[in-house]
Amino acid sequence: MACKVSETIARMKSSNLIGKLPVEKKLLQKIAPARTMLLLTILCALLATLATIAQMGYVSKIVSRVFLAHQSLEQVGSLLLFLLIAIFIRAVLLWLRELAAQQGAIRVKIALRKSLFRQLLQLGPAFSRGERTGELVLTLSEGIERLDAYVSRYLPQMFLSVLIPLLIVAVLFPLDWTSALLLLLTAPLIPLLMVLVGSYTEKHIQQQWTALARMSAHFLDSVQGLMTLKLFGRSRAECERIERMSNSFRDRTMRVLRLAFLSGTVLEFMVTMAIGLVAVTLGIRLLNHGISFENAFLILLLTPEFYRPLRDLGTHRHAGMEGKAAAQRMLEILEMPVAMPKAERSAGLSCSALEIDFTGVSYLYPNITKPALHNISLSLAAGTCTALVGRSGAGKSTLVNLLLRFIEPSAGQISVNGISLAALGIEEWRKYVALVPQRPYLFYGSIEENIRMARPEASDEEVLWAARQAGASDFIQRLPAGFATQIGEQGKRLSAGQAQRIALARAFLKDAPLLLLDEPASSLDPESEALIRQALERLQRDRTVVIVAHRYSTVAHADQVVVLEKGEIIEIGKPAALLQGDSTYARLMGKQSGEVSLR
């Protein structure tokens, strides 16, 4: 057992969550949904470049014939027609390029959102509890949106900044190899500048994104804690703190913008100087009759087109680095290992009775060396009620999370009706489990929608029956809109007792053979507590029940009590028997003082 636990610790320490590949290469692997559109974007851009070359060729011919050969417009009419056709084709191709780029970006964003949300679901509550909600929401929303410019602009431009100049040089080389060679010699100066400036700018953009994520998370914390801030008179202090964070973010943003403007100015200067150098050499050679006017004019027209992809790459590089900074966090989440074994068989379990056995079960949370549970061996007989008792941090919630399969054992085995739980499909297994937490989460929507989450295909009669069994139908029907009443975010328009009864109605509607309860009747007014206790008695009939208990009134009617301490079982037995003598359970219950909280 100890060997297996130590192996798990070593495996967690050696796992590289971020990976060894650079962020750019990882992002290229994630754009598979847009690969076709990316190729189409590049193809349209290359064809548009050919149309541009043709357009400039016709312009140079027309100018040469009209101004030097003194031909009339009628004589160059066919050239004008071809020029208009080239302009039209170029415009259509550029429109198709833009359309393909945007479609590719949309596909990538949709695929990434699905992948990230699926990964968060697989990582489960054990991961989300250690994260700031505001930061995760920013990553899923603004972070993904920042990839739009990366996919639609920067990524295609990385390829086009190489392909388009080579295409133009290939056309110019037969006309004038000297000018083509000059373009090839000056072109590398621009990427060199971008590398030098970009390596410095990238660090500041990453810091800017981190500051934005922290500020967003803090805003959400402040909004959710408005009552506490007002109660303790911390409103002014919180405003000052937010102002400091906003000023810090502003300073980082302005620093990034200054660098972007500076690099843009230097880039524009270098491009202008390069174009000027080509123009001067062409002028000198034209005066010395070293090149024809038509060819010189064509080269002069195509020189800005040669540098345009490099200039555009510099323009889009800032957006690309912003996307890269946002992608860093996404890739960290996507590459986090999910300890979920593949199911070897579908669940063939009885819907009426489940017998659960823990055999030498241990669990280690990531980056923690001490097991949350160690060598747990326990049997839960079918149709019985087991109460888990212990102080905060004893391992009660970890054991429940193992039953919910939000986490998997680091060692040992859990079996259900003799079948290894690890061999059952996770989604299939959860159909057999109902959970009523101490603080149920209700989603924004109607009461009916929240109850139906347990079984979306349930009929209206079944939803009404579940509400009656949970003692919720009376207060629901007194509401103006009844079951269609909108309950607000997290059910804020309902009282704690009403929200708890909605959660109980979910459990009744699901009708699962395994019921997990986390002291659902605590912290309520006497009337609500009485209604919920009556509903719980009905709900527990003929089910295997596990209760995380904090009060004696909850434990008293259990078939067995399991006392946990520091992740190990120290006592197990009937409630009445454990109360005898100087047991840990008796001390926790406090025989002389009535009900005592075990938190």
What would the pLDDT profile of 175-194 be if each residue is shown by its tens digit?
888 888 888 888 887 777 77
pLDDT tens, 389-399? 888 888 888 89
> Which pair of tokens denotes residue 8?
């798990």
539 by DSSP, 3-state: which?
A: helix
| Whether pLDDT at 137 is above 50 | yes
Between CA 578 and CA 588 the distance in angstroms is 11
Tokens of 83: 């020029």
CATH topology of domain 356-589: Rossmann fold (3.40.50)
pLDDT over threshold 70, residue 242: yes
Per residue in 4-25, pLDDT (tens digit) is 434 443 443 333 333 445 666 7
The pLDDT value recorded for residue 1 is 41
Classify the C-alpha dihedral 135-139-140-143 as positive or negative.
Answer: positive
Paired tokens of 339: 């300890």
Contacts of 186 (CB under 8 A, 6+ apart): 274, 277, 278
Take residue 420 and report the two structure tokens written for it.
Answer: 């290894």
Task: Note the pLDDT of residue 42.
Answer: 92
Q: In this predicted structure, what is the pLDDT of residue 236?
A: 80
| Region 112-334: CATH code | 1.20.1560.10
pLDDT > 60? residue 584: yes
Domain borders along the chain are 112-334, 356-589
User: Of the given ranges (169-173, 311-315, 380-384, 458-462), which has the lowest mean pLDDT?
Assistant: 311-315
Query: To the nearest 10°, the Cα dihedral for 226, 227, 232, 233?
Result: 50
pTM higher than 0.75, yes or no? Answer: no
In sequence order, what are the residues at sequence separation of 6 or more whose Cβ sits closer than 8 angstroms to the Cβ of residue 305? 49, 52, 53, 56, 164, 168
